Amino acid sequence: MTAAVLTRHLSKTYGEGETAVQALKDVSIEIPRGEFVVLLGASGSGKTTFLNLVGALESPTSGSVEADGQNLEGLDDDEKTTYRLNSVGFIFQLYNLVPTLTALENVQLIAELTGSDAKERSQNVLDEVGLTDRRDYFPGQLSGGQQQRVSIARGLVKNPPLLLADEPTGALDVETGVQILSLLRDTVKGGERSVLTVTHNTDIARIAHRVLELRDGEIVNVRTNHDPAAPATVTW
């Protein structure tokens, strides 16, 4: 079985000359399918850069990313757009919802790009994230946790093999954050989807199947939790 994500000697440098910043250095890792993986590291350690390279939002300076069976460096612009649309669901710290659209419409917007029965599929994923009775609310009428659920529904409606979440709990209180992580971890349950979640919080890593630790752009530790902790036991 092929990996969900495979990187080889992945490096990214921003800028040139004396002001150059090496955000990622020679990162070679493998993320199997069906895992909830946490990317851990202090601010500035390269977490977002890594996620953006895997999501084809940026291109590496050197090295390669293989995801969903494709070598991203070999794709032209149109193919990269298709990859971002069909293969990856993105979840951000600040939700990135359209404020003038309801929860359902926010999800439907993406659903319509990725197949038929957009409304029905959107309603189904909103049910899945526990927002059945909030479908017709606007983002401004929802709590932070509910807005993040809409954002997760928007990622899920494409049914992508890979979900990438950049500090999805960063703006939430502890209890809500745990619920969101629990939800994200549940989305791998079929074993076909992998979820890569960025955090700078050590305790969150206990609920992951696998933890990748970044320091100054380098992977300094990879560990596997054979018996991941239940999200409810997390305190931070």
Ligand X SMILES: Nc1ncnc2c1ncn2[C@@H]1O[C@H](COP(=O)(O)OP(=O)(O)O)[C@@H](O)[C@H]1O
| Residue 170 near which of Mg ion, ligand X, none (CB within 5-8 Å, type-dependent) | none
Judged by beta carbon, residue 48 or residue 194, the one nearer ligand X is: 48
Judged by beta carbon, residue 104 or residue 165, the one nearer ligand X is: 165
Quote the tokens at residue 30. Answer: 């493998």
Shortest approach of ligand X to residue 47 CB, angstroms?
3
Quote the tokens at residue 147. Answer: 């807005």
**15 lines the binding site for ligand X (CB under 6 A):** yes
- Identified binder of ligand X from the candidate list 16, 17, 18, 43, rule CB under 6 A: 43
- Return left, alpha or beta for 167; rule: phi > 0 is left, psi -120 to 50 is alpha, else beta: left
Question: Contact at 8 Å (CB) between 41 and 199?
Answer: no
Quote the tokens at residue 151. Answer: 């954002």
- Identified binder of ligand X from the candidate list 27, 33, 38, 49, rule CB under 6 A: 49
Question: Contact at 8 Å (CB) between 187 and 152?
Answer: yes
Quote the tokens at residue 37. Answer: 């993986």
Judged by beta carbon, residue 38 or residue 153, the one nearer ligand X is: 38
Question: Contact at 8 Å (CB) between 84 and 56?
Answer: yes
Q: How far is CA 231 from CA 77, 183, 184, 219, in A?
A: 39, 9, 10, 25
**23 lines the binding site for ligand X (CB under 6 A):** yes
Tell the burial category of 73 from Cβ atoms under 10 Å away from its Cβ (0-12, 13-18, 19+): middle
Q: Which helix (H) or strand (E) holds 10?
A: strand 5-14
Among the listed ranges 44-52, 86-94, 105-113, 152-160, the one in contact with ligand X (CB under 6 A) is 44-52
Checking DSSP bridges between strand 194-199 and strand 36-40, what pairing results, if any? parallel
Which residues of the chain form contacts with Mg ion (CB under 5 A)?
A: 47-48
Among the listed ranges 14-22, 69-77, 169-177, 179-187, the one in contact with ligand X (CB under 6 A) is 14-22
Among the listed ranges 40-48, 60-68, 103-111, 174-182, the one in contact with ligand X (CB under 6 A) is 40-48
In the bound complex, which residue of the shown chain has the CB atom lying closest to Mg ion? 48
**19 lines the binding site for ligand X (CB under 6 A):** no
**45 lines the binding site for ligand X (CB under 6 A):** yes
**151 lines the binding site for ligand X (CB under 6 A):** no
Can you give the binding site for ligand X, defined by CB under 6 A? Answer: 14-15, 21, 23, 41, 43-49
